[in-house]
Structure 1
Amino acid sequence: MKQMISFIIAFLLLTPSVSLAETPFTDVETDFWADDEIRFLHEREVIGGYETGEFKPNKPVTRAQAAIIIVHALELDVENRPAPSFRDIRDGFHAYEYVAAVADEGIIHGRNGNFLPNAPLTRGQMAAIIDRAFHLEEATTQTSFTDVKRNNTFYSSIQNLAHHRISTGYEVDITFRPNQPTTRAQFSVFLSRVLEDDFKPNVPAIPELAFFEELILEAESEVEMAMYEKWEDAFYHDQPLSFEEVKPTFENYYTDEMIDSVWKPFYKEELMSWGPALAQTFHFQMMEDLTLHVVGQNYVVITGIEPVNEMNSGEMYFEYSLVRTDSNWLIDDISGNY
């Protein structure tokens, strides 16, 4: 009997009073940003609405609701599960079997012995739940959300969601906002992207670290040779050469802003001395512990350490910033401890 009661209550929470042939929910218009995802999950009986016919897309999804939805998405068996050991979950609670199932699967954890079923599911918790539920492949790149540091509890899961284009964060300020509640619409979108790749944002893929490594090494090699060649001509012929003669080489690898603000002044300053500082200008070939940080779909940062060598007496930290211009990646900035 208790299972039948739980099923009825869960059904009422998840199933609207309108048929699938009609617009599923009275408060989700066809031009709503998550309409397709909500409809997708509703038609597969993963999510539902309220008895009023509403979906309430902007309302936070609770932890209990998340448990129910995940069980439906994974088609988990809720029978014969060990009793959950949460102090605030008792036999007879409408989502008891669902909580027991996700707890048994290790998908949703509690806090200090409590499940907190009615608490809003935060975006950080959402990332962890989806990561665990679908066993996402570990991210091979790092997405640099400004509000998610490495010591964040959900750092790895957030990285995995970003890597698999399940969540892109907020582009306006490059944040993920892990402590904010996950709305029912957001949860629907994230879950749909896991279940169906067609829902993932159609954005250009970020190349792997090896691509940027090859690009930067080529840039430094080509520019170094071009500059030495021009300086050598000036040295032997005692005739200064304009930057315009070497500029095309830079344009293959660097943004206009960096060319004008960094390389043009450097070229002129070092021209008459035949470039003794050039040997200490290109650090990338010496760098170790390289890490790719994805700041946005068109902006990445490569970080690394140049170890102690004959040119420096201590470790030196550097950042190479690159931007995507059309289909090309160009170096936009080099900063660090020179």
Structure 2
Amino acid sequence: MQAEPFADVPSYDWAYEPVTMLQQMDIINGYENNEFKPERNITRAEFITMTANALSLKPVSTDLSFYDKNQIPDWASQSMQTAVQAGLIDGYEDGSLRPNQPISRTEIVTILVKGFHLPAATNYSLKYTDRDAIPNWAVNYVRTAATEGLVDGYEDGSFAPNNPAKRSEVASILYKAIMMD
């Protein structure tokens, strides 16, 4: 049975196709009242769950060593464990995973480049006006994602690497990654 399209993502919305396709592929879910909440910041747990679904990662159970592991929602626990085991996420230097924190645009790009095993693009010059704000550890991941057409900048030419990612943005980037895989 095909899911009813989300009430808050009308057919004329720029994110309609990726959101609808990911919903039909059982990669994303919405909230109560059949809403997707496209402009809401996506949490790390939500993003990891979507990504694990998109990559069809085989679920694994592992004991996570993060001090905030008890904050992982039940519905995301298996995906978070699997993503850690697969090397998609490492957590933060302070020993936390921060599952309910919004995930940055840089972090989503890094995880998707790793997860989809995209070839490194080291000879591509980033054109974003705020390229100097991209953390050093993420420059090659952002470069690869830009080269592969996964991400575009904003109208002002920025990438906004440290901004929280919106659910609609993630749907678009994730859908592009799936379609090129």
TM-score norm. by structure 2 comes to 0.90
Instruction: Give 1:22-41 correspondences, 5 Å limit.
Output: 22=4, 24-41=5-22
Deviations 1:203-237 (A, max 9, x none): xxxxxxxxxxxxxxxxxxxxxxxxxxxxxxxxxxx
For the aligned residues, what is the CA RMSD?
1.8
- Which protein has the bigger strand share? 1
Mapped pair 1:63 → 2:55:
no
Mapped pair 1:90 → 2:74:
no
Instruction: Write the letter of the residue equivalent to 1:99.
Output: M
The alpha-carbon deviation at position 152 of structure 1 amounts to 3.0
Deviations 1:29-59 (A, max 9, x none): 0000010000111110000101211000000
The one of 150, 170, 174 aligned to 1:187: 170
Please tell me whether the aligned partners of residues 45 and 72 of structure 2 are also in contact (alpha carbons under 8 angstroms): no
Please tell me whether the aligned partners of residues 84 and 104 of structure 1 are also in contact (alpha carbons under 8 angstroms): no
Consecutive unaligned residues of structure 2, counting only runs of 5 or more, are none
The alpha-carbon deviation at position 92 of structure 1 amounts to 7.8
The one of 55, 62, 67 aligned to 1:74: 55
Q: Distance in 1 between matches of 2:19 and 2:86?
A: 25
Deviations 1:58-89 (A, max 9, x none): 0011001111111111111223x321111101
Structure 1 residues 175 and 96: CA distance shift in structure 2, 3 A: same
The alpha-carbon deviation at position 151 of structure 1 amounts to 5.6
Mapped pair 1:167 → 2:151:
yes
**Number of residue equivalences:** 176
Structure 1 residues 27 and 105: CA distance shift in structure 2, 3 A: same
Please tell me whether the aligned partners of residues 27 and 55 of structure 1 are also in contact (alpha carbons under 8 angstroms): yes
Q: Distance in 2 between matches of 1:100 and 1:187?
A: 21
Structure number with bigger Rg: 1
Q: Distance in 1 between matches of 2:40 and 2:137?
A: 24
Deviations 1:115-147 (A, max 9, x none): 001100110111111111111111142222121
Q: Distance in 2 between matches of 1:151 and 1:43?
A: 35
The secondary structure found in structure 1 opposite 2:91 is: coil
Structure 1 residues 88 and 144: CA distance shift in structure 2, 3 A: same
Please tell me whether the aligned partners of residues 7 and 35 of structure 2 are also in contact (alpha carbons under 8 angstroms): yes
Mapped pair 1:119 → 2:101:
yes
The secondary structure found in structure 2 opposite 1:27 is: coil
The alpha-carbon deviation at position 153 of structure 1 amounts to 2.9
The alpha-carbon deviation at position 101 of structure 1 amounts to 0.5
Please tell me whether the aligned partners of residues 72 and 100 of structure 2 are also in contact (alpha carbons under 8 angstroms): no
Please tell me whether the aligned partners of residues 136 and 160 of structure 1 are also in contact (alpha carbons under 8 angstroms): yes
Structure 1 residues 119 and 21: CA distance shift in structure 2, 3 A: closer
Please tell me whether the aligned partners of residues 68 and 98 of structure 1 are also in contact (alpha carbons under 8 angstroms): yes
Structure 1 residue aligned with 2:88: 107
Q: Distance in 1 between matches of 2:72 and 2:166?
A: 27
Structure 1 residues 92 and 136: CA distance shift in structure 2, 3 A: closer
- Identical amino acids, percent of aligned pairs: 30
Please tell me whether the aligned partners of residues 3 and 24 of structure 2 are also in contact (alpha carbons under 8 angstroms): no
Structure 1 residue aligned with 2:126: 143
Q: Distance in 2 between matches of 1:35 and 1:151?
A: 31
The runs of 4+ residues in structure 1 deviating greater than 6 Å are none
Structure 1 residue aligned with 2:161: 178
Structure possessing the higher relative contact order (Cα contacts under 8 Å, 6 or more residues apart): 2
Instruction: Write the letter of the residue equivalent to 2:145.
Output: L
TM-score norm. by structure 1 comes to 0.50
The one of 30, 48, 66 aligned to 1:49: 30
Please tell me whether the aligned partners of residues 57 and 184 of structure 1 are also in contact (alpha carbons under 8 angstroms): yes
